[in-house]
Amino acid sequence: MLPRTQGVKMSNFNFLVCSFIFLQMWSFLLVAAEDDSSSEVKIEVMFKPMECSKKSKRGDLMNVHYDGYLAKDGTQFYCSRSDKAGHPQWFVLGVGQVIKGLDQGMNDMCPGEKRKITVPPSLGFGKEGKDPVVPPNATLVFEVELYSVSKGPRNMEAFREIDLDQDKSLTKEEVKRYLKLDYERSGTPKDDAFYDKIMEDIFKKNDLDVNGLITSKEYNVYQHDEL
């Protein structure tokens, strides 16, 4: 009877010690999360598919779902699954269409891969933050899932392939046809609404003079800083 009671006391004590250590660690982690001195993204691979046909690189067109959280308290400030009717987001990797932390953190990634990316303020929204959702100097945590990677707008080989009539400008029909082919080739054809949504994103980001055509110049706008 007695030893058993002692045993219980001991485990209570152990529990207290563990809780204390846990609290210490937690406050340390919180301090680390608040620390602005880190200037690098931290990448944790949460899931990696068995097969990886191609890895993302600068200039690639990325189709991705991502959720954004504030590191200090876990508040969700962005969710692409609920935003814009839940369509995955499209952007060109490494050219400033998303915050620097994501440009860096989503490099060398396989389609189907999931990552947790911790972004310091200097590679996120910086001193200003992003009103009203991201406060100043906020470390951000993104959970990203990459759906597909295709040749991005900086790839001139792809441009010539998309530009069916070879007039050095891309109509929506030409881009749509190419996207369809690309999805069909990868065995995941989609419906028209899906392609139309992508077209809207692509033209919003690349048709700089908004005339409904992407010229080789607009398409090639980032070519000078190609790695």
Contact residues: Ca ion, CB under 5 A: 163, 165, 167, 207, 209, 211, 213
Does an H or E element contain 212, and which?
A: none
**What burial letters (b/e) apply to 86-112, b meaning 16+ CB within 10 Å?**
ebbbbbbbbbebbbbbbbbbbbebbbb
Nearer to Ca ion, 60 or 163 (CB): 163
Q: Which two tokens stand for residue 203?
A: 């033209």
Amino acid at 101: G
Rounded least distance, CB 114 to Ca ion, Å: 35
> In the block, which residue shows the tokens 């200097």?
122
Rounded least distance, CB 217 to Ca ion, Å: 9
Alpha helices in 38-162 (DSSP H): 100-105, 156-162
Which three-class secondary structure state does DSSP give residue 43?
Answer: strand
Nearer to Ca ion, 143 or 161 (CB): 161
Rounded least distance, CB 32 to Ca ion, Å: 46
Nearer to Ca ion, 128 or 167 (CB): 167
Rounded least distance, CB 202 to Ca ion, Å: 12
Q: Computed over its alpha carbons, how large is the radius of gyration of the chain?
A: 23
Nearer to Ca ion, 80 or 171 (CB): 171
Nearer to Ca ion, 40 or 173 (CB): 173
Cβ within 8 Å of residue 54, ≥6 positions away:
110, 111, 149
Rounded least distance, CB 22 to Ca ion, Å: 57
Nearer to Ca ion, 100 or 205 (CB): 205
Nearer to Ca ion, 39 or 166 (CB): 166
HSE of 198 in the Cβ direction (CA atoms, 13 Å)? 25
Could you tell me which residues are beta bridge partners of residue 68?
78, 142
Rounded least distance, CB 199 to Ca ion, Å: 14
Beta strands, E only, the chain: 42-47, 61-70, 76-79, 89-92, 114-119, 140-150, 169-170, 214-215
Rounded least distance, CB 190 to Ca ion, Å: 23
